[in-house]
Amino acid sequence: MKSENSKYQLGLFFGILFVSTASILIRYAQTEVSSLVIAAYRMAVSAIILGLIVVLAEPGFYKAYTHNHIRQAFLAGSFLAVHFASWITSLEYTSVASSVVLVTTTPLWVSILSPIVLKEKVGVNVIFGLVLAMVGGVVVGLSNVCSFTDGKIICDSFSLILNGKELLGNSLALLGAFMAAGYILVGRRLRQNLSTLSYTFVVYGFSAIWLVLVVLLRGENLFSYSSNTFLILFLLALIPQVLGHSLFNWALRFLPASAVSVALLGEPIGSSLLAFVILNEPPTLLEIAGGSLILFGILLTLFRKQSH
């Protein structure tokens, strides 16, 4: 049993590693491709890859879908489309550390919204965790216009008022977290009736349709890019989306959902380390402090759920 758990934990480790590459690959792609096109390619290529797999592995998967399932999958895909569009765009305006820490507040919002959507009770730990996470979010938001010097926090009040670039980026990352929470809440019940493979293929497909339609309506370029850029877009779909998220879904079959959710919190750490090594973008002390508060707040919420 212990060796089995080690196998699943190893799978989660590689899942975190794969997912953490997303923000780095996006940064490279953004030198030539707009954020919406990146999001569209990520979901479209992922849907194509999963479509090929599901046709071979589960050729009759569509028979399990009722009209209600399709409506729910469409809604989940819509949430997912806005999630990726807003989060990927946020990386144009704020640091990798700020963006990834804020977007990974998703588990907390799921816990807060669950009583409304799923009629689940909220404990004191959830409320306390929310307060900590909100304080951490404010600290991360201020990190771009404030600095920690000689034991004091010094903020440029003029920049604080006018520097809307980082504020926009952090707000988009937070919007991405809210949309991901909606995606999870809608999909939680739907996945009980469908296999993980067929569920992800259909939802990714709806998400891709939304994003491609928006890109076409905006008249953006879809094909005139360098071969290196196309390779990056393919790797973005393959590594963090198909491989990374698939490993989390695989582990979810054998480990508690709370344990898998906690593993997702490793993404900010992995992304920040990769950004430091590859992009020479070290996190500031305030980003580290704010991110720590956010992650601690989420952990409180998840451990509350795990103890019941």
Answer whether residue 258 is part of any domain.
yes
Task: Point out the least confidently predicted range of 54-58, 90-94, 258-262, 303-307.
Answer: 303-307
Single-letter code of the amino acid located at 114? S
pLDDT of residue 156: 60
Whether the pLDDT of residue 28 is over 60: the answer is yes
Quote the number of domains for the chain.
1
CA separation for the pair 169, 228 (Å, rounded): 26
Answer whether residue 226 is part of any domain.
yes
Answer whether residue 122 is part of any domain.
yes
Label residue 157 by pLDDT band (50, 70, 90): low
Whether the pLDDT of residue 67 is over 60: the answer is yes
CA separation for the pair 239, 174 (Å, rounded): 23
State the average pLDDT over residues 34-63: 91
> Which structural domain range is residue 188 located in?
19-306
The pLDDT tens digits for 127-151 are 777 677 767 766 766 665 666 666 6
Q: What angle do CA 63, 69, 71 make, to 5 degrees?
A: 130
Task: Answer whether 245's CB lies under 8 Å from 200's CB.
Answer: yes
Task: Answer whether 95's CB lies under 8 Å from 279's CB.
Answer: no
Average pLDDT, the chain: 79
Answer whether residue 292 is part of any domain.
yes
Answer whether residue 94 is part of any domain.
yes
